[in-house]
Amino acid sequence: MPKCTINGKEVEVKDGTTIIEAMYGKDGEWPEGKVAHYCWHPGLSVAGVCRLCMVEIEGNPRLQIACNTMVTEGMKINNTSEKVKDAAKWGLDFHLINHPLDCPICDQAGECGLQDQYMEFGKYNPEMAEKKVKKHKVVDLGPTVVLDTERCILCSRCVRFTDEVSKTNELGIFNRGDRSEIGTFDGVPLDNKYSLNTVDICPVGALTSKDFRFRQRVWYLKDAETVCNGCSTGCNVKVYFNREGFFRVKPAYNPDVNGYWMCDEGRDLYKFVNRENRWLKAKKRTYNGIEEMMPGAAAKDASFAVKSLGDSVALVLTGQYSVEEYESIVSTFANDLKSKRIYHWISNPEKANDFDGLLLRGDKNPNTKGLQQVLQKHGVNTNWADLLSAISSGAIQTVVVAGPENQAVYADMKDKIRDLSKAKNLIWLQTGRNHDLEALTGNVWLIPMKSYVEKDGTFVNHAGLAQKFKKTTTVVSEALTLTEASDLLAGKQLVIKPETNVFVESEKPADRVTVEHRKKNEFVFRRGTL
């Protein structure tokens, strides 16, 4: 455990710690002052090529790079001297002399490493008066990523990512000197399940996501941390949103779960949260036709088919809701309604234990473990075949289904709808639209649910790690959580929470639309972390 002095303050670090790691702090707080850097990334190997993280070490006449210098006992490190500042200034200027400075049309503007670090360490009097090097502007690297080689500062982070993390080796640096360009080999595009991480770690706007580019300026986006609901890994993610909806998902650092990365699949999950893919109102279908109503009203309306039928009511649960919701709905059904017919809808059971070695798991539910724990706690032990036979025998009259949020991974959706709709009454609780459900005939209630970004809760991941997540924003304010739905279905008085006060009015005419009032100027400028 060597002790060193950083800017006059004594710090003790673990053996084998580099200077930049010692200065980085736990999660990038830079407690002893920030060190300028581009190529160094805590999740990748050391390249030592940007030459920005120069620090002064007492007794060494030459500046040393902090990323490749180990801390030794008694080392005296300084990064506030004029010499160090000058090195960073010129280092940044070298980065910028051939950079196109097309910030007004660049997607990275607002969260750009060049912008941020130039503000902090820059020289402010550019002296480059020569023509800049011209390179390729729109290089299609693969299905997810576009490259602008002029913006690239050749930090090699993306190359090291494909080399070390995804281990797919699609990217390389071609040519040499200031003609160097990132590129792929002919016929081998950047196409792997983690490709968009290269966009995250790109400190400039060279790599942009095809999905996100040109869709929003980042200063119009707010971000919030939550837990990805794409699979049972439970990666910690940041979702970016504004009043127009959600626009992207990026990984948030958690050493116990996902480190610095996430998969490309998880990045698409913001889409089913947005209004265009959601049920905004409940639909009640009877033999008289379709009636649109407020979700709360629909749940109350459907309660007659639930509350007094006892054991002829079945509950079907998918692994995409929070532990708290499971707890309340299962206890409501088991204790209040005295129904032991609670079933776990397992999609793709044969793939449930698949794992690609990095993050992606075959179980596409974020909370299968949580659901199992709750079912076990309440002594529920049922199997799917019983449900089907009980429906066909008429022993079950009402089926309440908590459908999946991410329907794309439920390949058996159609089959299950067909099977379950054989019951006399079907109450389907779900976030997103589904044409098969909307086309059903008979007594059907389709009730919109809140998505995972709109509620507080807990997911238990594949390893049994319980992760709490917080509500980030509201997309469909009228939608219900599973807890609220179960209370209403059981005929209980709804416990009104401040953010769910729309339900007070839910008994008023169904065509009344409640508009959620937001604060104006809610967009705060967030400096992107590099």
Footprint on this chain of other proteins (rule: CB under 8 A): 46-52, 54, 62-63, 68, 86-87, 90-91, 94-95, 97-98, 127-131, 133, 153-154, 172-173, 175-180
What is the nearest approach in angstroms of other proteins to the Cβ of residue 109? 21
What is d(CA 69, CA 63) in angstroms, rounded to the nearest whole number? Answer: 11
Q: Which is nearer to other proteins, 127 or 186 (CB)?
A: 127
What is the nearest approach in angstroms of other proteins to the Cβ of residue 250? 26
What is d(CA 513, CA 83) in angstroms, rounded to the nearest whole number? Answer: 64
CA 333 to chain centroid, in Å, comes to: 32
What is the nearest approach in angstroms of other proteins to the Cβ of residue 255? 25
Q: Which is nearer to other proteins, 128 or 188 (CB)?
A: 128
Provide the token pair at 194. Answer: 């983690």
State residue 199 phi and psi, 5-degree precision: -70, -40
What is the nearest approach in angstroms of other proteins to the Cβ of residue 126? 11
Q: Which is nearer to other proteins, 63 or 199 (CB)?
A: 63
Q: Is-contact 456 469, C-beta < 8 A?
A: yes
- For 208, the enclosing helix (H) or strand (E) is strand 207-209
Helix axes 384-393, 413-420, angle to 10 degrees: 40
Q: Which is nearer to other proteins, 91 or 230 (CB)?
A: 91
What is d(CA 75, CA 57) in angstroms, rounded to the nearest whole number? Answer: 7
CB atoms within 10 A of CB 421: 20
Give strand pairing partners of 246.
Answer: 241
State residue 9 phi and psi, 5-degree precision: -110, 135
- CA neighbor of 109 nearest in space, from 223, 221, 24: 221
- CA neighbor of 278 nearest in space, from 80, 152, 417, 446: 446
What is the nearest approach in angstroms of other proteins to the Cβ of residue 118? 14
Q: Which is nearer to other proteins, 36 or 476 (CB)?
A: 36
What is the nearest approach in angstroms of other proteins to the Cβ of residue 134? 12
Q: Which is nearer to other proteins, 20 or 375 (CB)?
A: 20
- CA neighbor of 186 nearest in space, from 142, 150, 149, 123: 142
What is the nearest approach in angstroms of other proteins to the Cβ of residue 227? 37
Q: Which is nearer to other proteins, 63 or 359 (CB)?
A: 63
What is d(CA 150, CA 138) in angstroms, rounded to the nearest whole number? Answer: 9
What 3-state DSSP class applies to 342?
Answer: strand
What is the nearest approach in angstroms of other proteins to the Cβ of residue 479? 51
Q: Which is nearer to other proteins, 103 or 173 (CB)?
A: 173
